[in-house]
Amino acid sequence: MGFLDKIFGEFVDIIEWTDDSNDTMVYRFERYGNEIKYGAMLTVRASQTAILVKEGRIADCYEPGLYQLETRNMPVLTTVENWPSGFSSPFKAEVYFFNMHRFTDLKWGTKNPIMLRDKEFGPVRLRAYGTYSIRIQDPLTFLKEIVGTDGHFSTDDISKQLRNLIVSRFSNLIGESNIPILDLAANYDDLSDFVTKAINPAFEAYGLSVENLMVENISLPTKVEEALDKRTSMGIVADLGKYTQYQMAEAMEAAANNPSGSASEGIGMGMGFAVAREMSQGLNKQQASPPSIPVSVSYYIAIEGKQQGPFTEPQILQKIQAGDIHRKTLVWYAGLAEWTQAEQIAVFSDTFKHLPPPIPQ
């Protein structure tokens, strides 16, 4: 088979690559002994870039088009290749084709939960996942940093490393954002944009660019979600008494539609008694006595070493407004251990905040 490949390589003078897959990023054109005939035709399609490598050195780079490999259009290769037959002999070089289109629907996600501190729920663990798309931005950098001598390079060969980069940047970003857990769903688009901008410098070091990164879901642990669902249900129900009455009415209707004779009658009577009990409890709640009238506090003040009072709270406030009681005026009321300056008593401190400070002497 090796002999046939050599014979076939002597006659084939067209170098091209057509790709039926959706994940091949780089393909090395196979020739017997990497031998290319002088004057061979190189076809680079619209979504491709081709690079010639000679003895480990990048010789030339070709954009989409049709090229005849001759000396006049290979100035770099001419300087590194020995042309013993008047620049018309075959030469050995490797041809790498790069797919320049967008690679879409690549997956990313957190292997382990991300630990965060939420203002409402405290320490929580989150999982997130989504999709992203990439494109080869710099074929030369991509060949040097990632591909190397790989003859067939696909998205599977680099997706793990890219996924780790995304998760790392996403964890830092969501930890610094301080967005409440319940508001994350409303910020998926902003998070996607921020993560895309944050990870692009790391991708550019590989010769790649992130075209579109999407956050599809951020979820809490199962038990936390169940507790949150219960809390939401309680908020929706609001009035448990009305909810119980509604449930009883639904059960009574179901029992009435069930032709089970004495059983349905017993259920109907039981539900009737339960509804009557609920209604009675509701009436008792409505007829309950009002709460007791709060007892007013008596305040005493010390002016010029003499005790004055008692005064009510409105009277004290009125004296503060009139300037009879100052910030340092001593005040006492039942329950207070000792005489205290008026500005340090909670019910009066806000009033002093709206008054001008004393005029300096």
Note the maximum CA span of the chain.
Answer: 123
Instruction: Indicate if 132 and 193 belong to the same structural domain.
Output: yes
Is the pLDDT reported for residue 192 higher than 80? Answer: yes
Instruction: Indicate if 110 and 216 belong to the same structural domain.
Output: yes
pLDDT digits (tens, 9 = 90+) for 66-102: 988 775 556 555 554 554 544 445 677 889 999 999 9
User: Considering the domain boundaries, does residue 175 fall inside one?
Assistant: yes
User: Considering the domain boundaries, does residue 267 fall inside one?
Assistant: yes
CATH number for the domain harbouring residue 126: 3.30.479.30
User: Considering the domain boundaries, does residue 87 fall inside one?
Assistant: yes
Instruction: Indicate if 78 and 121 belong to the same structural domain.
Output: no
Instruction: Indicate if 94 and 109 belong to the same structural domain.
Output: no
Contact between residue 24 and residue 153 where contact means Cβ atoms under 8 Å apart: yes
Instruction: Indicate if 90 and 120 belong to the same structural domain.
Output: no
User: Considering the domain boundaries, does residue 334 fall inside one?
Assistant: yes
Contact between residue 96 and residue 53 where contact means Cβ atoms under 8 Å apart: yes
- Residues 133-156 have a mean pLDDT of 89
User: Considering the domain boundaries, does residue 289 fall inside one?
Assistant: no
User: Considering the domain boundaries, does residue 229 fall inside one?
Assistant: no
Instruction: Indicate if 127 and 202 belong to the same structural domain.
Output: yes
Domains in the chain, number: 4
Instruction: Indicate if 122 and 53 belong to the same structural domain.
Output: no
Cα 106 from Cα 134, distance rounded (Å): 8
Crossing angle of helices 240-256 and 262-286, rounded to 10°? 160
Distances (CA, A) of 246 to 242, 266, 273, 275: 6, 19, 14, 10
pLDDT digits (tens, 9 = 90+) for 282-341: 555 555 556 666 667 888 999 888 898 889 988 888 888 888 888 889 999 888 888 998
User: Considering the domain boundaries, does residue 358 fall inside one?
Assistant: no
Strands 41-44 and 14-15 turn out to be: parallel
Tokens coding 25:
């990023």
Segments forming the whole domain that contains residue 36? 2-99
User: What per-residue confidence (pLDDT) applies to 239?
Assistant: 59
Contact between residue 129 and residue 110 where contact means Cβ atoms under 8 Å apart: yes
